[in-house]
Amino acid sequence: MDLTIPVGDTVLNIRVALLIKNDQGYIFEKYNDEFCFVVGGRVKVGESSEEALKREVFEELGISFSNFTLKSIIENFYLYNERTVYEICFVYQTEDIFEKDLGPEFLVCSKSEIADLNLRPEIMKKVILDDGKEILHLIVKNK
């Protein structure tokens, strides 16, 4: 069971994402050619964020990553289907280079193309472009 929990008129959603690169740039999943997002998904009850990350990346790309570090925690408040969503996303990064062929549901962008990308959440661009060594804690309230 996913950690997507109704709390009154709000939904609490716990997610993970992994910043992955291949030789051309960062890898993103496309959503109906409308926008894209970083590879990842929802944490399940009883899973740590790292366990969820390994599971989600394997489900989506068919590969296991074990060399990753926490880069950011994003608290994102937004409206979806007329409900407020409070989403906490643990964003990890890996220095490993992904070398497998990607399907049409994926997109690869160089760092210079990130600014023009329709990426959700938008604040993820700041995470990707940040070269600092400290973990970023970002809060976005779009209500």
In tens, the pLDDT along 57-76 reads 999 999 998 899 999 999 99
Task: Judge: domain 4-142, CATH 3.90.79.10.
Answer: yes
The domain locations on the chain are 4-142
pLDDT tens for each residue of 99-117 = 989 999 999 999 999 999 9
Amino acid identity for residue 89 in this structure: C
Q: Closest Cα to residue 143, out of 91, 75, 90, 89?
A: 75
Report whether 40 contacts 65 (CB < 8 A).
no
Q: What is the pLDDT of residues 15-57, one digit of tens each?
A: 999 999 999 999 999 998 899 999 999 999 999 999 999 999 9
Predicted structure pTM score: 0.94
- CA 65 to chain CA centroid, Å, is 15
86-103 pLDDT per residue, tens: 999 999 999 998 898 999
- Of 126, 26, 11, give the one whose Cα is nearest residue 73: 126
Q: What pLDDT is attached to residue 143?
A: 60
